[in-house]
Amino acid sequence: MKNNILKSILFTATFGALVACEEQIFPELESAEPVLVIDAWVTNRDQPQVIKITRSQPYFDEVLPTGVAGASVSVSDNLGNVFTFTEGATQGEYVWTPVGNVGFGTVGNSYELTVTVNGETFLANARMNDVPPVDSITFNKQEGTQFFDDLYFAEFWGTDLLPVGDAYWIKTYKNGQLLNKPSEISLAYDAAFSRGADYSGEKFITPIRTSINPFDEGADGSLLSPYSVGDSLYVEINSLSQEAFDFLTEVQLQTDRPGGFGELFSTPIANVPTNVRNVNASGSKVVGFFNVAAVAGNGRRFKSLDEVSRVY
Amino acid sequence: MQKLYYFLIICFFQTISVTAQDKVTINGYIKDASNGEALIGATVYVRSLSAGTTTNVYGFYSLTLPAGTYDVEFTYIGYAKQVSNQELIKNIRFDVEMESQGEQLKEVVISAEKEQSIVQSVEMSVNKLDIKTISKIPAFLGEVDVIRSLQQLPGVATVGEGASGFNVRGGSVGQNLILLDEASVYNSSHLLGFFSVFNPDAVKDTKLYKAAIPAQYGGRLASLLDVRMKEGNNKEFEANGGIGTIFSRLALEAPIVKDKGSFIVAGRRSYIDVLARPFVEVLQDGAKLNFYDLTGKANYSINEKNKIFLSGYFGRDVFFFDGDQGFSWGNKTGTLRYNRIFNDRLFANFSAIFSEYDYSLQFGEDDQDYFRWKSSITNYTFKPNFSYFLNSDNEISFGAEATYYEFTPADAVASSGGGPIPLTVDRKYNLENSFYLSNDQKIGDAFTLQYGLRYSSFYSFGPGKNVIYYDTIPGKRRRPNTSLEQEVSSGDVLSQYSNLEPRLSIKAQLNNTTSIKASYNRMVQYLHLISNTTASNPLDVWTPSSNNILPEIGDQLAVGYFKSFGNNDLYQFSAETYYRQTENQIDYIDGANLLINQYLEGELLSGRGRAYGLELYFQKQEGRFNGWISYTLGKTELQVEGINRGDWYATRYDQRHNLKLTGFYELNKRLSLSANFTYVSGTPATFPTSRYVVQGILIPYNANESRGNVRLPDFHRLDLSVRLDGKAEKANGKQRKNTDYWVFGLYNVYARKNPFSIYFTQGSERVPVGSAINSEARQLAIIGTIIPSISYNFHF
């Protein structure tokens, strides 16, 4: 559907571009004490798992946040196993390295994160949910119009697991680089978008299947084809806890700001939630999130135009 | 509150007991002689008795006087005064047709009838705009617009350019009752909020009540916008139309039977897509981008005492990206009315009303992969209203209203290869009943009272689910307790509310040119517009009160000072203050999911609101140079647990200062200038203090958890327009039958980039893992440039 959304954007842009006007400004912001940030997204992929502990920065500080050293970080499961994360080479990074080919955790188990910083203890809980496989990836062609040239976009195929209430984060790597713009966060609740409408056990709906395409602009402002012959992509489905789905939904709302007429329909600015808590409720504030994901992935290289399976 | 009820009851019975003997009644309709349109609010006055009345919305009047011979004066602004010597020994029917005044006064501006001016009328917090005035205000893209014109009046605000609807005295967009010939209009906008659904060629009269809302009306907290359609010329065929920058318009009016019945049909359509089709391929592939509306009305006088009206509206906005993908929305209304004069003093109107708002979206690639979604609100209303003209000092109104609502929050179906799967949210069924009684009473020359009581009740009934939610932390999503969920069958009552709504207005006439007025009214709102975006949008759904959503209740007190001065009351001045407090205001949890959600109610928060302010209004009514100045000092806030640490916070449309200047100048008979200037102090915005990174995404953070912690820069704008009338005479010196005029406009003359919002975002580039992320603030102006326009209008 992205290609259709694209058309609609072009449509409204024709009107909007005539009158709307946007510029960067440099307002002065209230100052605030830094708060602790815990970025703990652990997966069962067979590779070192990293939990980052940093502090928030003034909004316009465009430097890497400084890591918090000297914390003790561990994750325990409901069976009593403890996974200790040790301080890595980069300050603020805490790493657990798998032994043998066994990744972190087991689907269905519950996990508790414990972080101790400067004598304060922070806890967070998550359950590792199941994930369906990425069955295949195909390529489609959108024929060019007077506004853009031919576009090649990819579609992945997969089927949601049956019980109602699965939540997934679909991450895409193009030529090894993660598509990590706020507009590229792709979430699924069962086979569709949101909780409350039961659409479970089906193939993912088209907008989700085609959410793996980067829409970048060339230097002249023209739209670039998401994929060209020679490109490779890797699609990864990460299972989410219910709370993590809500967290990412709000991250999307708060960070994906396309501007223009879209601002008419933006929701109020608010802090995104956190599932990390200070054991001492009146202690220091903390933000960030802990999720334990099962991951399934699949990749494909776009070798030649003969691989195009559908033309629009 | 109890005391107030006693007071109202006592007033009422005193009225009834003072029934007169030896009195006679003169009644009838007052109409425009040129086209038979009923004149609303025309004055009937007997100077020797200082007794008078005004015509109601159907142009009917009834005046009861002691038997005798009187000079009865009929006046209406812009029309030649008529005086008729009447020997009243028995009840008589006397219909009046008034002649429009000639060229020299054509450019008169009115917002309140002069003879029954804002000083004399008991009404307060009321603004009337007739279509002549509306059509002279410089308009965006030259399209004359009712709702944008209202925004030139005190107490009326908007979130910003392009936003749907309007805000009255700190109320939300969903708290305005908008009636088009008595039918509720649930979404008043075309093309987001740039244009309103009312076709100016078909509108006769608009009246905005910001307080002192008569007991006859209820259902919304903040205001009533009463739009009345033209009835159609019952003397001769008439056509009006125009070609503008956005719309082409055509309205036709003609008698059905001369002097007895007539009709009007008026249509508008945007035509940019038609013009662009040869140049834009996607438009040839089935893409659509247009909006249109059709407004019609017919009336017929069966005899002197019985008259029927049928009116309707149909409008739609259509955005289709190709043949089968896109969305559309629109309103439909229909009103059937029957006016009956039972006797000289009892006038009745019976209305049967239908109204529907719906939208639909569809996406898909083929029969295997698609998503289709519809949502609607429909209501059917029956409304008998009676006016009893007891004597020249009392006019009693009473009646009832029954409305059946059907809500379809989401009727959706999706398929991703495995056949269609319904994603339907349960329908909701409701009934709203009300009864009212009120009286307009004059006490001596100095005092006029308008007091009434409305009793309203609201029922939700099955089939449906009775959903119970767990109580959780304020500000967080409430989960349904499915073990307590009960299915109820058709007709079973799920929840029920009833409320008494007292209304009271008092006018004290200090002298001929000065009065003081005060009013109190309670309003109850059972339907809620669910919208958590900056501006209301077409996908916002209405949802009824239920066991989980309490009715909104608002109490408003207003006090005003009204003064006219100058020769022939040339200048009018008013100052009003108001205070309103509201209960059960709706706000939303952060990240609320409001669409296709069976458990929508778990996403809502409830709180209270308060709004207060001062409105100043100064108007010069006529002359070559005329216009008005309007200034509002206001504040509007909400307090909701879970938002802004539980403290009061300013609503998105809170504007401390709101100044509007509107002026008209007639250079000569053919050329006139209009200008308006708007200054509004900055609306609230929320800025972050800090930033942090989770999973490579830059997240803004406000360490104080506040909402509305800063103000946007001020908004100001100047608009100009020039109207050039076609020559009134032909080359041979004869009067032309047809008239036409051009309007040239400039919107945002000095091209100010007025901020609509300031938002914070990470840079648009993709950031490689391990690099610092850029952060920036961006200021958006919806209209950041000067916009010229041109339109051609004709009449024959």
CA distance to partner chain B, nearest, from residue A141 (Å): 13
With an 8 Å Cβ cutoff, are A39 and B694 in contact? yes
Q: Label residues B35-61 b or e (16+ Cβ within 10 Å = b).
A: bbbbbbbbbbbbeeeebbbbbbbbbbb
Judge: A11–B710 Cβ closer than 8 Å, yes or no. no
B371: nearest CA partner in chain A:
A205
CA pair distance B30, B44, nearest whole angstrom: 9
Is a pLDDT exceeding 90 seen at residue A193?
Answer: no
Chain A residue numbers touching B532 (CB-CB < 8 A): 267-268
First-last CA distance in chain A? 11
Is the ipTM of this structure higher than 0.90? Answer: yes
Given a contact cutoff of 8 angstroms between Cβ atoms, the answer to whether B661 and B627 are in contact is: yes
Contact B778 A259 (CB under 8 A): yes
pLDDT at A7 over 50: no
Residues of chain B with C-beta less than 8 angstroms from the C-beta of A30? 687, 689, 703-704, 709
Pairing of strands B247-257, B261-270: antiparallel
Question: B771 to chain A, minimum CA–CA distance in Å?
Answer: 7
Are residues B694 and A145, on separate chains, in Cβ contact within 8 Å? Answer: no
Q: How far is C-alpha B638 from the chain's CA centre?
A: 23
Q: Determine the distance in angstroms separating the CA of A306 from the nearest CA of chain B, rounded to an integer.
A: 21
d(CA A78, CA A82): 10
Q: What is the 3-state secondary structure (H, E, C) of B114-141?
A: CCCCCCCCCCCCEEEEEHHHHCCCCCHH
Q: Is A221 left (phi over 0), alpha (psi -120 to 50) or beta?
A: left
For A155, what's the count of Cα atoms within 13 Å in the CB-facing half-sphere? 23
- CB contact under 8 Å between B693 and A39, yes or no, is yes
DSSP, residue by residue, B323-350: TTEEEEEEEEEEEEEEEEE-SSSEEEEE
Helix (H, G, I), strand (E, B) or coil at A283: coil
Q: What CATH code would you report for B2-105?
A: 2.60.40.1120
Contacts of B430 (CB under 8 A, 6+ apart): B404, B405, B406, B407, B458, B459, B460, B461, B526, B544
Closest CA in chain B for residue A3 = B321
Q: Do the Cβ atoms of A254 and B769 come within 8 Å?
A: no
Distance separating alpha carbons of residues B243 and B246, to the nearest angstrom? 8
Check if the beta carbon of residue B533 is closer than 8 Å to that of residue A264.
yes
In angstroms, the Cα distances linking B196 to B292, B384, B580 are: 11, 29, 27
CATH topology of domain A36-129+272-293: Immunoglobulin-like (2.60.40)
pLDDT the model gives residue B81? 87
Interface test with B, best of A10, A147, A206 (most B CBs within 10 A): A206
Please state, in angstroms and rounded to a whole number, the distance separating the CA atoms of residues B755 and B753: 6
> In angstroms, what separates the C-alpha of A156 from chain B's closest C-alpha?
13
Amino acid, res. B532? N
Structure tokens that stand for B358 in this block: 């719906």
**Contact A250/B591, CB-based, under 8 Å?**
yes
More confident residue, B626 or A266: B626
Are B774 and A261 an interchain contact pair (Cβ–Cβ within 8 Å)? no
| pLDDT at A182 exceeding the cut of 80 | yes
The model's pTM? 0.90
Full strand arrangement of the beta sheet holding B757-762? A21-25, B775-781, B757-762
Residue in A closest to B780 by C-alpha: A22
Let me know how long chain B is. Answer: 796
d(CA A174, CA B207): 60
Q: How far away is chain B from the Cα of A109, in angstroms, using its nearest Cα?
A: 23
Instruction: Decide if B529 contacts B540 (C-beta within 8 A).
Output: yes
Terminal CA-CA length for chain B = 57
Greatest alpha-carbon pair distance for chain A in Å reads: 63
Contacts of B365 in chain A (CB under 8 A): 206, 312
**How would you class B394 by CB atoms within 10 Å of its CB: exposed for 0-12, middle for 13-18, buried for 19 or more?**
buried
Query: How far are the Cα atoms of A37, A270, B383, B696 from residue A55, in angstroms, in the given order?
Result: 5, 19, 63, 15
- Candidates B537, B761, B785; nearest CB to A255: B761
Max Cα distance, chain B (Å): 98
Contacts of A240 (CB under 8 A, 6+ apart): A129, A167, A168, A169, A187, A248, A291, A293
Q: Which two three-digit tokens encode residue B515?
A: 């009065």
- Using CA atoms, how far apart are residues B700 and B760, in angstroms rounded to an integer? 7
B646: left (phi over 0), alpha (psi -120 to 50) or beta: left
Q: Do A178 and B769 touch (CB under 8 A)?
A: yes
| pLDDT value of residue B10 | 65
What's the confidence (pLDDT) of residue B324? 75
Q: Are B656 and B680 in contact (CB under 8 A)?
A: no
- Contacts A55 to B, Cβ<8 Å: 692
Q: How far apart are CA A103 and CA B668, in angstroms?
A: 87
For residue A5, what pLDDT is reported? 43
Kindly report the number of other CB atoms within 10 A of residue B489's CB atom: 9
Cα atoms in the Cβ-side hemisphere of radius 13 Å centred on B176: 31
- Residue B647 or A193, more confident: B647
Taking CB atoms and an 8 Å limit, are B369 and A29 in contact across chains?
Answer: no
Mean pLDDT, consecutive 10-residue stretches, chain B (796 aa), reads: 65 56 85 88 87 88 90 86 89 89 44 53 81 83 86 90 88 95 93 86 91 94 94 92 88 92 94 74 74 94 92 92 83 95 91 96 82 93 94 91 95 84 89 96 89 96 89 82 87 93 94 92 96 84 93 96 87 95 93 86 94 95 89 96 92 94 92 94 93 94 90 94 87 80 93 91 85 91 88 91
Q: Say if residue A19's pLDDT is above 70.
A: no
> Strands, E, within B526-667: which ranges?
527-530, 541-544, 552-565, 571-588, 604-620, 625-640, 649-650, 657-666
Please name the residue of chain A whose CA is at the shortest distance from the CA of residue B535.
A264
> CB distance B709–A30 less than 8 Å?
yes
- Read off the pLDDT of residues A24-74 as tens digits, 9 standing for 90 and up: 999 999 999 999 999 999 999 999 999 999 999 999 998 999 999 999 999
What integer is the mean pLDDT of A11-15? 48
CB atoms within 10 A of CB B384: 15
CA B363/CA A48 separation, integer angstroms = 42
A contacts of B322 (beta carbons < 8 Å): 4, 7
Q: Which of B416, B425, B696 sits opposite A206 (nearest CB)?
A: B416
**Residues ≥6 apart with Cβ < 8 Å to B537:** A264, A265, B164, B192, B531
List of chain B residues whose C-beta atoms are within 8 Å of the C-beta of residue A113: none
Answer yes or no: do B703 and A285 touch at CB < 8 A: yes
Which residues touch A260 (CB under 8 Å, ≥6 apart)?
A: A12, A13, A16, A20, A22, B780
CB contact under 8 A, B534 and A263: yes
Q: Comparing C-alpha atoms, which of A49, A45, A41 is closest to residue A103?
A: A45
- B690 forms beta bridges with A58, B701
In this complex, the residue of B160, B703, B757 whose CB is nearest that of residue A32 is B703
In whole angstroms, what is the distance from residue B292 CA to residue B197 CA? 9
* Residues linked to residue B678 through DSSP beta bridges, in sequence order: B660, B717
Can you tell me the distance from the alpha carbon of B492 to that of B504, in angstroms, rounded to the nearest whole number? 36
Q: Which of B473, B694, B698 to mutate to test the interface with A (most CBs of A within 10 A)?
A: B694
